[in-house]
A = this chain, B = another copy of it.
Amino acid sequence: MNGAESLVRALVRGGIETCFANPGTSEMHIVAALDRVAEMRCVLGLFEGVVTGAADGYARMAGKPACTLLHLGPGFSNGIANLHNASRAQVPIVNLVGQHATYHVRHDTPLTSDIEAIARPYSKWLRTSCSAPELGHDAAEAIVAATQGRIATLIVPADAAWGEGGVIAEVPALPKASAPKGADVERAAAMLRSGLRTAMLIAGSALYSKGLAAAGRIAASTGAKLLAPYPFTRMRRGAGIPAVERVHYILEQAVEQLKEFRQLILVGARPPVAYFAAPGKNAVLTSPECEIHTLASPDEDCAGALEALAAALSLDGMQPIAANAERPSLPSGDINLQGLAAVIGALLPENTIVVDESMTSGRGLMAATRGAPPHDWLANTGGSIGIALPLAVGAAVACPERHVLCLTADGSAMYTAQALWTMARESLNVTTVVFANRAYAVLKREFSYLGVGNAGPRALGMFEIGRPDLDWVLLAKGMGVPGTRVISLEDFARALREGFEGGGPMLIEVRL
């Protein structure tokens, strides 16, 4: 067995059954192995930002890694921005990156690069295999590293892939996240009993696993507020589920939101700070009087920590707080942001996966869907735009029986629009809504916010993405996805229903 086949078979043995891929010549033996191993599903992306973003979306929903297949240093580079987002999501991904044959690198041919240097900033685990017999073992180690919520990158020289002597290694027992210290649980319990106004800022898997029920019991018993960072990985929410409020993106709104709290308990979250500094402004969002206590760090078992905290508070029989089942009524008339949010809130099917990169257009969406039937919500974790469409691909591959609603700003969607093609090829059940305000609207706001005066025509030329206007219906059709443009809220509701009923991909352009 050659190295490539041992690599693929080791991945399958380790539970990896999906490969998001854009290979090149140096990966041909891996492609040949994928051709032979039917247990691995291969999904082609026409750009690597689609590939890595899809691996992120898959991991968020499947709870286990997919692998990517990338061509040399440039192929990895094209995937970095969404690996940045994935690293902030703390999801497991195993990247396979081809390299020239070991003896060929010295020729410094056009596609030669220092792949390790390129991959290192976003690879918590990084290795170049030296020969065929190592590949299977290295793949097993990569899986172990990835399972800890990390990005693992295995660089595969072509001669290691085509060489004989491959071994299908066993994957060792996967490590479990460590439990938080008893003293930290006790301290959190004491804070909650103190009577001071307290919030819990929850991130990671605690937002969608059994940890959320524990948090709901704690909130019901103590009156603590449940908060999530603006950039969360995945949140389970809707009627009957403990409502967790997202910290606002805009600094002043977040400060207002947090100012009442004298105590903040962090569960897998970092202390809340504004995304960006601004001259003369304090970026820390909590009140100076607020005591911040870390119950569990992002690497620890956050769900377990919440359950331990609930046990310390003796809340075993307590019912969690739960969002009421309530939806907005279907609005009509001209397009406006509040109306669009209400349509989504009114129509969202149960168990939909909502992928949200709606940016400035979507600020009312979470409020409007708070009491909708239970669903999952995925956010942009790293702030690098162009995540939504790829994330939707990965979520739909992981959960073929569920609807995916992909909400994206137009500027963001242009970064990785190639994902639409993958949706069409794989007949993915994704309804994409493009909020087309023809601008990087967030920048228009930030420009004046930062106190640099009014934007003149040259600055506006870098914020406005009209002239010419993008036609999303044509772009979608050009990649095989049916699309429609809506000009009223009734239109939008009709199109959204059609998308949910269709079973395949569809795009709705909302001109704002």
State the A residues within 8 Å of B (CB).
21-26, 28-29, 31-32, 34-36, 38, 42, 44, 46-47, 49, 73-75, 77-78, 80-81, 84, 88, 100-101, 103-104, 107-111, 113-114, 117-118, 120-121, 158-159, 162, 231, 270-271, 273-277, 279, 283-284, 381-384, 386, 411, 414-415, 417-418, 421, 424-425, 442-443, 446-447, 450, 452-453, 455-456, 458-459, 461-462, 465, 467-475, 477-480
Contacts and interface: CB of A to CB of B under 8 A. Distances in A.
Contacts of A47: 386, 414-415
9 contacts: A21-B462, A28-B450, A32-B453, A35-B459, A74-B80, A74-B81, A75-B384, A100-B276, A111-B275
A381 B277 contact: no
A10 B114 CA distance: 33
Contacts of A29: 450, 452
Nearest to A98: B276
Contacts of A473: 478
A403 B424 CA distance: 36
Contacts of A471: 477-479
Contacts of A446: 25, 28
Contacts of A465: 44, 46, 421
B469 A109 contact: no
Nearest to A36: B456
Give the most central of A25, A47, A275: most B CB within 10 Å. A25
Given A23-B443, A23-B462, A456-B35, A121 B113 contact: yes
Contact of A480 (B88, B469, B477): B469
Contacts of A24: 443
A277 B103 contact: yes
Contacts of A279: 159, 162
A468 B276 contact: no
A508 to B, nearest CB: 15
Contact of A73 (B121, B421, B459, B477): B121
Given A73-B121, A117-B121, A425-B468, 4 more contacts: A46-B411, A77-B84, A104-B277, A473-B478
Give the most central of A75, A117, A450, A452: most B CB within 10 Å. A452
Given A29-B450, A120-B117, A283-B104, A74 B477 contact: no
Nearest to A279: B162
Contacts of A42: 458, 461-462
Contacts of A88: 110
A26 B461 contact: no
5 tightest Cβ-Cβ pairs between the two chains A and B:
A468-B480, A474-B478, A74-B384, A77-B80, A101-B277
A107 B283 contact: yes
A484 to B, nearest CB: 14
A56 to B, nearest CB: 13
Contact of A81 (B25, B77, B468): B77
A474 B158 CA distance: 38
Nearest to A445: B25
Contacts of A274: 109
A73 to B, nearest CB: 7
A87 to B, nearest CB: 9
A414 B108 contact: no
A448 to B, nearest CB: 9
A84 B74 contact: yes
A109 B158 contact: no
B425 A467 contact: yes
Nearest to A284: B107
A14 to B, nearest CB: 20
Contacts of A447: 28, 31-32
